[in-house]
Amino acid sequence: MRELLTAAQMRAIEQAAIESGEATGLELMERAGEGVVEAIFEQWPELEPDAPAVSGVGGSAPAPAASASPSRLGHPRDISGQKKRKAVVLCGPGNNGGDGFVVARLLHERGWDVKVFLYGDPEKLPPDARVNFERWAERGETECYALEGSLRGEKRLRLPAGFDLIVDAIFGTGLTRGFSGVFSGLAEAAYRAAVTDNGRVPIVSIDLPSGLCSDSGKILGRAIQADLTVPFHRAKTGSYLSEGAACCGVISVKDIGLEPDGAGSVDPAPRVGLIDQPADRIAKRVSAHKYSYGHALILSGPSGHTGAARLAARAGLRIGAGLVTLGVPAEAQQEVASQITAIMMRQIGEARVLEEVLKDERLNAICLGPGMGLERARELVPVAVRAEHTPYVVLDADALTAYAGDPSELFGMLHANCVLTPHAGEFARLFPDIAEKLNAPAAKGPAYSKVDATREAANRAGCVVLFKGADTVIAAPDGQCSVNSAAYERKASWLATAGSGDVLAGFITGLLARGFAPMQAAETAAWLHVECALEFGPGLIAEDLPEMLPHVFRKLEA
């Protein structure tokens, strides 16, 4: 699990380091600038001094160096014949601008021709940023624009031609107001300047693209579209939520010498983790038998609607549940029996039958929802969540929508052994007021985020909530929260296919049957879900996901 930070948490960590004497603000700013320059040359090694020029669009570009990270950009445009690389650095009125002055100075020292623009009054810069403004002034000029000014007419930003890099040091994580007015013009100017006849000029954002909310990933009016984003110490939560991945390009986190755990946060809730590996207990014990790994029950819908439950059951068995039984109404038995082999089947129609079945304490995990139908869900969900020996319960799809008219009825039945797995539509039906806050346009930062929404939902429901999406967020009632991202190097857009959510519900149910705690089961299942999609690749359909698990498990054990 990698830690993600909000803007307030990062400020608290930096301030604690300064107050303890661990580092001065100037030292942190210098290290930040060094990290940005290092990241630039790691991403595009051909920009290093004395590196050979590379052709861009329309040219015969050589393959990227092995050390370079993948980028939607590729290589900068051809600048052969020029004696110097050229950069434009856009600095804002705060410490992010101070980082930009350091980057300008360091590039200049490497022989670059650097043009710097400041949006703000140099006299009003924070002390450390002011020092670095003056250090840069010893080497080059800065063109200043007043914040209250306009970019229309003669004040319109005109970036010089023939440059090779744009550095966005306008706001980063420090933005609290809308990136509009004069700043909206900056984003537009940067975009216009980056697109040339000979290719695309890379844009590098310091800490976070200006205009992107660091906590929510929402765009505050307008945002810089970066090709490389360089956060310090830890990536910011907004980089992995909402529109964050679309704005950040490639992320390269740089260490600036802060303590690994940092300082106590101003936010009392636990910090958010980015899931980057599965739980340790994926492998099975040599001495175990099938009942050591639990017995999962997946309830099916009526005839013609059993496919979703069969997908979930297959997923639960593949992920390691010792036994999986499909609970099927009488009219669907023949249909299901013709489709299964290792999965068992039992006739479960009415609520009283389910009550009898759940007296078997070897049944320790149950999944309701995929393809059930709303009426059947309303009848059977109360039986499952109120079972005498309290098995783990996963509620998905129809089991959630069935309570859209009165979510409080559902919440009154739930307990800590439940997991809810809504997509955005189901989330809005169960938590309409929370969804309204989440979907409201962001006027200023920090904006209400998917993390905030999922935490609030988990607290209200009294159980773990997995809010699905490319930015899946998982939260527990005590505030524990994690993000499972299907973006950047884990981009898996082909997961948007019918039935993939049913497979995820089956993964969670199978892990619960094996003895995973609800939060751990949801996190592990979400991570494996994306890994299976990446293992298969484009053309994926839901049936393929469970069949990729053996390949993923072998890689984990290698």
Q: 80-117: per-residue pLDDT in tens?
A: 444 589 999 999 999 999 999 999 999 999 999 999 99
Those residues with Cβ within 8 angstroms of residue 54's Cβ, 6 or more apart along the chain or in another chain: 46, 61, 62, 75, 76, 78
Residue 181: per-residue pLDDT? 58
Do 352 and 247 belong to one domain? Answer: no
3-state secondary structure of 482: strand
Q: What is the DSSP string of 358-426?
A: TT-TTEEEEEE-TT--HHHHHHHHHHHHT-TT--EEEE-THHHHTTTT-HHHHHTT--TTEEE---HHH
Is 380 within the bounds of a domain? yes
Do 265 and 294 belong to one domain? Answer: no
Q: Which of 93, 155, 158 is nearest to 120 (CA)?
A: 93
Residue 176 pLDDT > 90:
no
Is 63 within the bounds of a domain? no
Is 55 within the bounds of a domain? no
Domain that holds residue 176: 7-49+68-269
Residue 221 pLDDT > 60:
yes
Q: At what angle do helices 432-439 and 450-461 cross, to 10 degrees?
A: 170
Name the CA radius of gyration of the chain, rounded: 27
Taking the complete model, does pTM exceed 0.75, yes or no?
yes
Q: What is the DSSP string of 69-110?
A: PP-SS-SPPP-TT-SS-EEEEEE-SSHHHHHHHHHHHHHHHT
What is the C-alpha separation between 490 and 275, in angstroms, rounded? 11
Residue 267: per-residue pLDDT? 58
Sign of the alpha-carbon torsion through 352, 354, 357, 358 = negative
3-state secondary structure of 439: helix
- pLDDT confidence of 3, banded at 50, 70, 90? very high
Q: At what angle do helices 127-137 and 25-43 cross, to 10 degrees?
A: 60
- Of 104 and 161, the structure prediction assigns the larger pLDDT to 104
Those residues with Cβ within 8 angstroms of residue 352's Cβ, 6 or more apart along the chain or in another chain: none
Q: What is the CATH number of the domain that holds 481?
A: 3.40.1190.20
Best mean pLDDT range from 103-112, 256-265, 442-451: 103-112
Do 367 and 415 belong to one domain? Answer: yes
Residue 162: per-residue pLDDT? 78
Is 442 within the bounds of a domain? yes
Which range (13-27, 36-50, 58-72, 188-202) has the least confidence? 58-72
Do 230 and 301 belong to one domain? Answer: no
Is 280 within the bounds of a domain? no
Is 247 within the bounds of a domain? yes
Q: Is the peptide bond before 518 cis (omega within 30 degrees of 0)?
A: no
Residue 336: per-residue pLDDT? 96
Task: Count how many Cα atoms sit within 13 Å of the Cα of residue 301 in the half-sphere of its side chain.
Answer: 22
Are residues 413 and 420 in contact, defined by beta-carbon separation less than 8 angstroms? no
Are residues 178 and 445 in contact, defined by beta-carbon separation less than 8 angstroms? no
Residue 358 pLDDT > 50:
yes
Do 261 and 393 belong to one domain? Answer: no
Do 479 and 371 belong to one domain? Answer: yes
Stated as kind and residue range, the H or E segment containing 427 is helix 424-430
Backbone angles phi, psi at 420, to 5 degrees: -100, 140
Residue 513 pLDDT > 70:
yes
Residue 479 pLDDT > 50:
yes
Residue 77: per-residue pLDDT? 41
Do 199 and 252 belong to one domain? Answer: yes
Do 228 and 322 belong to one domain? Answer: no
pLDDT digits (tens, 9 = 90+) for 229-242: 999 999 999 999 99
Amino acid at 424: A
Do 129 and 238 belong to one domain? Answer: yes
Those residues with Cβ within 8 angstroms of residue 558's Cβ, 6 or more apart along the chain or in another chain: none
Do 224 and 295 belong to one domain? Answer: no
Is 58 within the bounds of a domain? no
- pLDDT confidence of 294, banded at 50, 70, 90? very high
* Mean pLDDT of the 518-538 span: 97
Are residues 175 and 238 in contact, defined by beta-carbon separation less than 8 angstroms? no
What is the C-alpha separation between 137 and 123, in angstroms, rounded? 13
Residue 120: per-residue pLDDT? 87
pLDDT digits (tens, 9 = 90+) for 119-142: 889 999 999 999 999 999 999 999
Share of the chain above pLDDT 70, in %: 85
* Mean pLDDT of the 312-327 span: 97
pLDDT digits (tens, 9 = 90+) for 466-476: 999 999 999 99
Number of domains in the chain: 2
Q: What is the CATH number of the domain that holds 139?
A: 3.40.50.10260
Do 336 and 457 belong to one domain? Answer: yes
Residue 514: per-residue pLDDT? 95
* Mean pLDDT of the 276-293 span: 76
Stated as kind and residue range, the H or E segment containing 313 is helix 307-318
* Mean pLDDT of the 523-535 span: 97
Is 275 within the bounds of a domain? no
* Mean pLDDT of the 521-529 span: 97
Are residues 293 and 20 in contact, defined by beta-carbon separation less than 8 angstroms? no
